[in-house]
Structure 1
Amino acid sequence: MDATANNRSFLQKVIAIILGFGPGIFAIGYTIGTGSVTSMIVAGSKFNMELLWVLLLSCLFSGILMFAYGNFALITGETALFGFKKHLKFGKALGILIIIGVTFGQWNSLMGILGISSNIIFEILALNFTGLRGYEYETVLITAIVIILVFYLLLLVGKYTFFEKILVIFVTLMGLSFMLSLFFVQPLPLDVVKGMIPTIPDVPGGKMLVAAFVGTTMASATFLSRPLFVKGKGWTIKNLDQQKKDSITAAILIFVISGIIMAVAAGALFYEGKEVTKVLDMANTLEPVAGRWAVTIFFFGALSAGLSSIFPCLLIAPLLIADYQSGELDTSSKQFRIITFIACLVALIGPVFGANPIEIQILSQVFNVFVLPLVILGIIILVNSKKVMKEYKTGLFVNIGLFASLLFACVISYNGILALMEYF
């Protein structure tokens, strides 16, 4: 009886910890979607663990940027783009440029996310109903329409706490699924260590994947949206320490889950000389070594990753525009409904034209890196302004991290330009 009570008590504590997760859950939702899953799987299958160092740096800088943006919001009571517009000389132009750049990247990503999620559901159905193979396009398109319609309706009735709980469920399922997958296949420990040595694979697609890694892990949307989500959580200047812990926890979880996905792909595909070019290849990552059951687990994780990203991607444009206008997001406004509806239509472009969602997803992550230097530069100026931050002073370590992340973002943006020139 005591053992049962203890087990129930432990389970209740775990559930309480998961449900108590703060705005960092949105960071994970933005970051580890099908974009991240796709990039990690393709990288693991092509280059083993060689790009682990890129992931580590991206997560380190992401944690610092989440912390900086969150602190700015709690100390000043202002949001990111509203703060840019109010305090920076060229803040209005900068804000508009960032809105256009981030929205373009996230809406492109949304096309890939919906395409991959719809294809995953199709593959699950086709495993049980083989007759569907002849109707792949129709099934994928109908599935995509149903998914995006359901999420749009949920957006119309939801509030911050509702979105947060939905994301907690999807992110938890995703993390558990990929961790379970790791029990079936692992990379060699020596390859993991070698992955910490900075190198860019000198092969076609190497530069593209490095840029995609950073585009999905150091997503501008994650940092820009953090002040609004911090405010939505109801946090104030009294929650500075909690905000710091939330940023660190989110960055660590992003690294761990993303690293596990790469490791699973490396262990299952790289050593076999196989690469990922379409969605079914991702599903087959585990089948050779663990059978159909493992494929189902992996599918479930990838689908959870996709669904956890749809909410944040649909929210990003109205969120940034509301941020720029007033710093307040009204999910019941006409503006919110119209913009999210347009986002839903954009998301369907990929499935309607039957485009390869893997290629769309990788390309969309590359586009995300180009606005990143502006997003970092803006917060560096704000958090070091005595007029803005008043008696609060940004620490030396945080400043070193911010300037290092700016340098890293500039290098990766240049790398992204070279990658696109090679691609086109």
Structure 2
Amino acid sequence: MPSGPSFLKKFTSLILSFGPGIFAIGYTIGTGSVTSMIVAGSTHGMQLLWVLLLSCLFSGILIYVYGNYTLLTGETALFAFKRHLKWGRVMAILIIIGIAIGQWNSLMGIMGISSNIIYEIFAIYFPGISSFKYEAVITIALVLTAVFYALLLVGRYTFFEKILVVFVTIMGVSFLISLFMVYPLPEDVIKGLVPSIPQVKGGRMLVAAFVGTTMAAATFLSRPLFVKGKGWTINNLKEQKKDAIVAAILVFVISGAIMAVATGALFYEGKPVTQVLDMVNTLEPVAGKFALTLFFFGTLSAGLSSIFPILLIVPILIADYQSGQLDTNSKQFKRITAFACLFALIVPIFGSNPVEMQILSQIFNVFVLPLVILGILLLINKKSIVQVHKTHFLLNIGLGLALLFACIISYNGVKALIDYF
């Protein structure tokens, strides 16, 4: 039938038309995000939907502003901080250190969860390996690390973009189909838009983790580099704006779908998730094998889509600080990514709880967020930099609210960590 190939061709063209926004989705919706959404949905239902909505709104603004700044000035983020701001050099170094801690800690949890999920899939078909779970998980983690490092050595932006398109598409489709099979009550969705924090132990931590994973500082700082890697110029302002809006909307829709599935399948059954195995044991009886398989396929794709950009982030930010260029071929890039790959194996080797590690790592991400917002707010209001391109007052209000929100969440994160330890 002629309409079949035509539709497939159009769908493929639509997916491949994504710009740097695909990296924003890959960074944001990783295993950390999936874990936080599942834990929140299974424990508190849709209560934290308002946090997700605000985070995605502010994320969209920041993705747009950082991309626009680069198209208008030709400069990348950390290089501009260092060059134009009084304390920019110190700010940039603190941001790189903070992101390295948050992202690499997150990487450990992602590798632990992804390895465990692949192990569970193998265990379904080869029950005999259950006697060698630890060895199997370690082997899977080593293979994953080696494959991703090999892909990184290719060193081309267009190649990275295509890899992420595949993972993000599988992830999005999997979660959205799952939502049609298991969903929350409409009134719970509406109640979730009313601000409230779960008054239980770990409630504050979950809120901070939500913001840490959805308003990821790494997403905004890498935006200028990927915009330049895409080859966009000042003539692509409209494409940049559309790309930022679509990225923010998709992050909200996919993340909300994950929370909703966890609410429909687990919260109403009174089965909160604290371990990777909990997801297997509790989802299957309620959602059925097909929905379970889809959900896990989506979770695995989320993990794999995050490993790639997280391995990239620290070396490209260091290169940004040094020269303002996207560097994916130097010896420095290869050495730092190799170290990150080894760091990722800590959770699988020591057998820590990857779910708990993921939530903790997301909290660390919120501490550099105020600096990242403050930096771009100062830059876009310097007349000597933006010249004739005056910043609209509504954009300044949006960034001001984002900064206030980030400061409140950072304070909340400090209190959550004090309570935890």
What interval of TM-score do these two structures reach, taking the shorter chain for normalisation?
over 0.9
Is 2:260 the partner of 1:263?
A: yes
After superposition, the C-alpha distances for 1:290-314 in whole angstroms (9 at most, x for unaligned) are: 3222221111110000000001100
Is 2:29 the partner of 1:32?
A: yes
**How far has the Cα of 1:329 moved from its partner?**
2.3
Contact 1:284 1:295 in 2 (8 A): no
Is 2:55 the partner of 1:52?
A: no
- Residue of structure 2 aligned with 1:145, choices 126, 136, 142: 142
Is 2:266 the partner of 1:301?
A: no
Is 2:406 the partner of 1:409?
A: yes
Q: In the superposition, relative to structure 1, how do residues 285 and 79 fare at CA in structure 2: closer, same or farther (>3 Å)?
A: farther
Partner of 1:157: 154
RMSD (Å), alpha carbons: 0.8
Aligned partner of 1:321: which letter? I
Matches within 5 A, 1:65-104: 65-104=62-101
SS at match of 1:21: coil
Q: In the superposition, relative to structure 1, how do residues 181 and 284 fare at CA in structure 2: closer, same or farther (>3 Å)?
A: farther
Partner of 2:357: 360
Aligned partner of 2:314: which letter? A
After superposition, the C-alpha distances for 1:240-291 in whole angstroms (9 at most, x for unaligned) are: 1110000000000000000000000000000010010111222345312232
Contact 1:265 1:285 in 2 (8 A): no
**How far has the Cα of 1:346 moved from its partner?**
0.6
After superposition, the C-alpha distances for 1:144-181 in whole angstroms (9 at most, x for unaligned) are: 01001100011001310000000000000000111111
Aligned partner of 1:65: which letter? L
SS at match of 1:264: helix
Aligned partner of 2:33: which letter? S
Aligned partner of 1:389: which letter? V
Matches within 5 A, 1:172-187: 172-187=169-184
Contact 1:208 1:366 in 2 (8 A): yes
Aligned partner of 1:323: which letter? D
Partner of 2:336: 339
After superposition, the C-alpha distances for 1:369-410 in whole angstroms (9 at most, x for unaligned) are: 001000000000001111111110111221111000000000
Structure 2: segments with no counterpart, 5+ residues: none
Partner of 1:348: 345
Normalising by structure 2, we get a TM-score of 0.99
Contact 2:226 2:326 in 1 (8 A): no
Normalising by structure 1, we get a TM-score of 0.98
The 2-side partners of 1:289 and 1:349 are apart by 33
Contact 2:64 2:244 in 1 (8 A): yes
Q: In the superposition, relative to structure 1, how do residues 32 and 285 fare at CA in structure 2: closer, same or farther (>3 Å)?
A: farther
Is 2:60 the partner of 1:63?
A: yes
SS at match of 2:2: helix
Contact 1:44 1:270 in 2 (8 A): yes
SS at match of 2:70: helix
Contact 1:116 1:358 in 2 (8 A): yes
The 2-side partners of 1:182 and 1:164 are apart by 27
Matches within 5 A, 1:155-304: 155-304=152-301
Partner of 2:39: 42
The 2-side partners of 1:223 and 1:395 are apart by 19
The 2-side partners of 1:29 and 1:109 are apart by 14
Structure 1: segments with no counterpart, 5+ residues: none
Contact 1:286 1:298 in 2 (8 A): no
Q: Percent identity?
A: 71
Contact 1:160 1:232 in 2 (8 A): yes
**How far has the Cα of 1:82 moved from its partner?**
0.1
**How far has the Cα of 1:135 moved from its partner?**
1.0
SS at match of 1:17: helix
The 2-side partners of 1:357 and 1:125 are apart by 19
Aligned partner of 1:118: which letter? S
Partner of 1:315: 312
**How far has the Cα of 1:66 moved from its partner?**
0.4
Aligned partner of 2:88: which letter? G
The 1-side partners of 2:180 and 2:57 are apart by 26
The 2-side partners of 1:72 and 1:388 are apart by 9
